[in-house]
Amino acid sequence: MSQSERLFELAKKRIPGGVNSPVRAFNGVGGSPLFIKQANGPYLIDADDQAYIDYVGSWGPMVLGHNHPAIKEAVLAAVENGLSFGAPTEIELQMAEKVSELVPSMEQVRMVSSGTEATMSAIRLARGYTQRDKIIKFEGCYHGHADSLLVKAGSGALTLGQPNSPGVPADFAQHTLTATFNDLTSVEALFEAYPEQVACIIVEPVAGNMNCIPPQADFLPGLRALCDKYQAVLIFDEVMTGFRVALGGAQAYYNITPDLTTLGKIIGGGMPVGAFGGKTEIMQYIAPTGPVYQAGTLSGNPVAMSAGLAALEQLSVPDLHQALTEKTAYLATGLKQAADDAGIALSVNYVGGMFGFFFSEEANISTYAQVAQCDIERFKRFYHLMLEQGVYLAPSAYEAGFLSTAHSQQDLDKTIAAAAHCFKQL
Ligand code: PMP
C-alpha cells in the first residue's frame, strides 16, 4: 500500500470522503487520490516521493508555478508584522488599486476569502441594486456553492452526478433560471418569460467547469446587449479566467465590459482570497455606504493580500500572457496530433492559460450537451495511464486544465510523449 493510499484510508475516517473539497477524492476517475507534500514550479511531489508534471495548479491559482520565490518572500515579510488586524491596512488599498488598473471595469473592489463568497456577494448586490429576485445562470457553469447557485452547476456537482444538491430549498432555487451556454435564444426567452424580474446574468466568460468551453463570437456581446435591453446586471465570474486568459481577464480578451466581476484563485497567489467589484454606482450599494450587507472577519487579510499582490505584480509583465497562450496552444495541438496518430478521436479547446480535451468524434465542442456525450470511461483510463507516466491532470472530465509560466518546453514535450504512449494503449 502506498503512503497516499494509507493516508486516504485514515482520512476517510475523520474527514467526509477523506477530503475537504469533493473532486479531490478522485470520484471522477476512480482510485485513490495522491496526497501531496510539496510542490515547486510545475511539479508536485506526493507522499511517496513521486514527482508529477502538474496541470491542475491548485485548480487555478498557480499560474506562476508552485512556491514562486516572490510570493513566498512577500508572505514571509507580511507574517513578520502580524497575521490579522481586523482593521483597514494600506495593502488592501494597494490591492484595490492594482485590480482596478488591471481590470478597469472594476472601479471599486471588495475583498473576500473565496470565489464562492465573491459570487454570492455579487449576486446579492445585483439583487439589492435592481430590486429584482431572479438570476440567470448557465447549465454546466459553476460559481461556487452558495445555495441559489447550486442549480445545474458544473465542476464537482457534475462530477458527482448531483446537479441539484439536496439541502437547497426549492423556494431558493426557484429564483435561479437556467439557460444554455452559447445559446442567446435561451437567454432571451427567459427575459421575455420574466419581464422586469431578472436581476442579473452570471456567466463564466470561458466556461471552465464543464471542461473548457470558449464563448462563440456572438455570445458575450449578446449577453451584454440583453442586459442593457432588460436593465439587468451583467456579472462575469472571472474566478478562473481572471489574470489567466489575459492579464485583464476574459473581459479584456473578448473586449466586453461587464457591470460586476468576481475574482478568486490567482488573486490570492495560493492564499484564500476572492474579490468582487465593478461600477462605482453599483458597488456603493453595499455596506457601509449602502443597504446590501456583506462582511468578513478575515477579508483583506494582510498575509493573503501580500501573496496576491505579489502574484499580480509578477504577472504584470509585457507579453507574459502571450507566451502562456503559446505554451497552451503547443500542448493542446501536440495532444491532438498524438491522438490522431494513435487513431483516437479527440477534440481540444484552449484560451490563454486554460485548456480542455474531449474524447469525442465531434471537431468543435461548444455546448454542455456535447460535453455530456463524451466518452467518460475512456477519459478515466487515460487519466490513470497518464498518472503512471508522471502527469497529473484534473481528476475529472468536467474540469479545465491549467498551464503555468513555470512549465518548460521540456515539460510540454514530455507530456505530449506520455500522452502519445497512453493513447496507443486505449
Ligand atoms: N467561480 C468559478 C468560475 C470557479 O471556477 C470557482 C471554483 N472553481 C468558484 C467560482 C468558487 O470558488 P471557491 O472554490 O474559491 O469558492
DSSP characters for 246-286?
Answer: STTHHHHHTT---SEEEE-GGGGBTBS-EEEEE-HHHHTTB
What does the block give as the cell for 342?
A: 494513435
> Are 272 and 296 within 8 A, CB to CB?
no
What does the block give as the cell for 245?
A: 486568459
Q: Which residue matches cell numbers 465573491?
A: 118
Give, using CA atoms, the residue closest to atom 10 of ligand 1: 143
- Which residues pair with residue 269 across a beta bridge? 271
Query: Which are the contacts of 224, defined by CB distance < 8 A and separation ≥ 6?
Result: 234, 256, 257, 258
Q: State if residue 103 touches ligand 1 by the CB under 6 angstroms criterion.
A: no
- The per-residue pLDDT for range 142-198, each reduced to its tens digit, is 999 998 888 877 777 766 655 578 888 888 888 999 999 999 999 999 999 998 999
Q: State if residue 380 touches ligand 1 by the CB under 6 angstroms criterion.
A: no
| Average pLDDT score over the chain | 96
- The per-residue pLDDT for range 258-291, each reduced to its tens digit, is 999 999 999 999 999 999 999 999 999 999 999 9
Question: Could you say which architecture CATH assigns to the domain 3-67+318-425?
Answer: Alpha-Beta Complex (3.90)
Which percentage of the chain shows pLDDT scores above 90? Answer: 93
pLDDT at 154: 75
Interface predicted TM-score (ipTM) of this complex, two decimals = 0.99
What backbone phi and psi angles, to 5 degrees, belong to 119? -70, -40
- The per-residue pLDDT for range 334-376, each reduced to its tens digit, is 999 999 999 999 999 999 999 999 999 999 999 999 999 999 9
- The per-residue pLDDT for range 23-47, each reduced to its tens digit, is 999 999 999 999 999 999 999 999 9
Which percentage of the chain shows pLDDT scores above 70? Answer: 99
Q: State if residue 401 touches ligand 1 by the CB under 6 angstroms criterion.
A: no
> Are 102 and 247 within 8 A, CB to CB?
yes
Distance CA 57, CA 73 (A): 20
Rg (CA), the chain: 21
Question: Which atom of ligand 1 is nearest to 59's Cα?
Answer: 8
Q: State if residue 254 touches ligand 1 by the CB under 6 angstroms criterion.
A: no
Supply the pTM of this predicted model: 0.97
pLDDT at 160: 65
Give, using CA atoms, the residue closest to atom 7 of ligand 1: 144
Q: State if residue 399 touches ligand 1 by the CB under 6 angstroms criterion.
A: no
Distance CA 357, CA 371 (A): 10
Beta strands of 196-258 (E only): which ranges?
198-203, 233-237
Best substitution site from 59, 120, 142, 145 to test ligand 1's pocket, by max atoms within 8 Å of Cβ? Answer: 142
Q: State if residue 211 touches ligand 1 by the CB under 6 angstroms criterion.
A: no
> Are 375 and 360 within 8 A, CB to CB?
yes
Amino acid, single-letter form, for residue 300: G
Question: Which atom of ligand 1 is nearest to 141's Cα?
Answer: 3
Catalytic center residues: 142, 237, 265
Give, using CA atoms, the residue closest to atom 12 of ligand 1: 115
Domain assignments of the chain as residue spans, ordered by start: 3-67+318-425, 69-315
pLDDT at 163: 59
State how beta strands 274-278 and 260-263 pair: antiparallel
CATH number of 69-315: 3.40.640.10
Instruction: Tell whether the model's pLDDT for residue 121 goes beyond 80.
Output: yes
Question: What is the number of other CB atoms lying within 10 angstroms of the CB of residue 292?
Answer: 18
pLDDT at 161: 59
Question: Which atom of ligand 1 is nearest to 155's Cα?
Answer: 8
